Amino acid sequence: MVEVGTLLNIFYHILIMDNKEFYEFKKQLKFLSKIRGRHTELVSVYIPAGYEISKVAAQIKDEQGTATNIKSKGTRKNVLSALERVMQHLRLYKNTPPNGLIIFSGNISEDEGNPKIELYTLNPPEPISVRIYRCDQQFVLDPLLEMIEDKRVFGLIIVERGEASIGLLRGKKVELLKHLTSRVPGKFRAGGQSSVRFARLREIAADDFKDTVGETANEIFLAQPNLEGILIGGGGYTKYEFEEGEYLHHELRKKILGVADTAYTELFGLNELVDKSAGILENLDITKEKDIVTKFLKELIKDDSLAAYGEKEVRKYLEAGAVDTLLLSEGLNKNRIKIKCGSCGNQTEKTETDEELFKLEQQISSIQCENCGNLSLNIEEKVDLLEELADLAQEGSTKVEVISTETEEGSQLLRAFGGIAAIVRYRL
């Protein structure tokens, strides 16, 4: 077998960015992916590390000349404005950053007559190798989306005498790809057959079935370029026969991490196999997240509970420096905003969802100040709630865990506890 420690210590997320940075990068991409141009007026520029900025500037200048030929006056104006913003930004650099430079610019307004030209830059978490210039109705994000994909893949096999299930653990998601049933005769034999001959026929049929399972698994697993390991499960001795036999391709046999007892097959059984292999996968995100949320839930039901949840309650503990571990859902999607009255200086802070914030930004000029009654309110500050709480946690030496919504435990954290929970050091 492959050495588990060697295989599992190569964690993509840990190598390129920490928990919070990874979340922030994903959020940036999510925001950019929602932007759609009314016409082909969104500019994407990818510059690999070491590429001369002057050459890119020269290309952008050529594109400005080409853009003057665009027939639509509005589109021509927006493209030229976007390209000018790119040119201005390029002047800030003598050389490209270590991982390259990515610039997005264009009209993000949904109002045909009122353009809003914005520019966004991203520092890629790993070196980019492609050079791209494109003007389209959406930004080019595919090379960046590939960077945030969890590239780890584990093969899952449950093999019984009568059936087998083959799937993948891809990141945090378990997938059932194939369920097979065997033609191995039952223990009750037809009349006239000797027990020895019947037993031999059963063994031949069982071996043929394991061959079929192996061939199917080979076809699926060898097609996975990032397969890091294989887990095998089952209720009887068949799983050990399969593991010890030469049913899998020799390269795949090197990747067998372990064998676990399971009571079920199909998707439920594959999930059971992942759970039963927690000791092997202890460093894998899916197990880590389940353990953290489970620890919180167990703490919650204790008489002397050290669990807290909800923004108001958790914020109180964070401000007191009393939080040991902060659990934040990746699906939080809320913002902390500060509103100030331009007339009387009165300030208020609120938490709003992305949708609520958008509506407030549209209506703020028509809302009266609760203190003086004037129509002079302004949004002075807005920050992602997850980032704000994470920064507050760092001040108190608190461990921060950003929990995905791809597991049942992660979904429960968002659904039942608003996506904000904590294990505290002491009660206040």
| Virtual torsion, Cα 124, 127, 129, 130, nearest 10 deg | 10
* Closest to 262 measured CA to CA, from 397, 346, 158, 185: 158
Instruction: Report the pLDDT value the prediction gives residue 18, as an integer from 0 to 100.
Output: 53
Spatial separation of the C-alpha atoms in residues 176 and 152, rounded to whole Å: 17
CB atoms within 10 A of CB 126: 13
Residues 218 and 123 in one domain: no
Residues 291 and 396 in one domain: yes
Cα-based distances in Å from 284 to 5, 28, 74, 150, 394: 12, 25, 51, 11, 24
Spatial separation of the C-alpha atoms in residues 110 and 271, rounded to whole Å: 44
Asked which of 235, 258, 283 is the last residue of a domain, the reply is 283
Q: Is residue 18 part of a domain?
A: no
DSSP 147-158: HHS---EEEEEE
Residues 98 and 141 in one domain: yes
Residues 395, 398, 400, CA angle at the centre, nearest 5°?
Answer: 110
Domain count, the chain: 3
Here the CATH number for the domain that contains residue 348 is 3.30.1330.30
Q: Which residue has the tokens 């190798």?
A: 129
Residues 291 and 428 in one domain: yes
Sign for the CA dihedral angle at 403, 409, 414, 418 comes to negative
Residues 139 and 158 in one domain: no
Residues 72 and 95 in one domain: yes
Instruction: Report the pLDDT value the prediction gives residue 284, as an integer from 0 to 100.
Output: 66
Rg (CA), the chain: 28
Residues 273 and 224 in one domain: yes
Kindly state the tokens that stand for 352: 């709003």
Residues 237 and 100 in one domain: no
Residues 305 and 340 in one domain: yes
Give burial (CB, 10 Å; 0-12/13-18/19+) of 40.
Answer: middle
Asked which of 110, 127, 148 is the last residue of a domain, the reply is 148
Average pLDDT per consecutive 10 residues, the chain (428 residues; last block may be shorter): 34 42 78 88 94 94 93 93 96 92 92 88 86 95 82 91 93 91 63 63 81 96 92 94 94 94 94 89 74 93 94 95 94 91 93 88 91 92 90 89 84 93 95
Kindly state the tokens that stand for 38: 């009314």
The whole domain housing 133 covers 35-148
Here the CATH number for the domain that contains residue 51 is 3.30.960.10
Give burial (CB, 10 Å; 0-12/13-18/19+) of 364.
Answer: middle
Residues 75 and 92 in one domain: yes
Q: Is residue 293 part of a domain?
A: yes
DSSP state of 109: -
Sheet containing strand 399-403, strands side by side: 307-309, 420-424, 323-329, 399-403
Residues 263 and 304 in one domain: no
DSSP state of 217: H
Residues 386 and 328 in one domain: yes
Instruction: Report the pLDDT value the prediction gives residue 402, as an integer from 0 to 100.
Output: 87
Give burial (CB, 10 Å; 0-12/13-18/19+) of 336.
Answer: buried
Here the CATH number for the domain that contains residue 202 is 3.30.420.60
Tally the residues of the chain.
428
Asked which of 283, 307, 332 is the last residue of a domain, the reply is 283
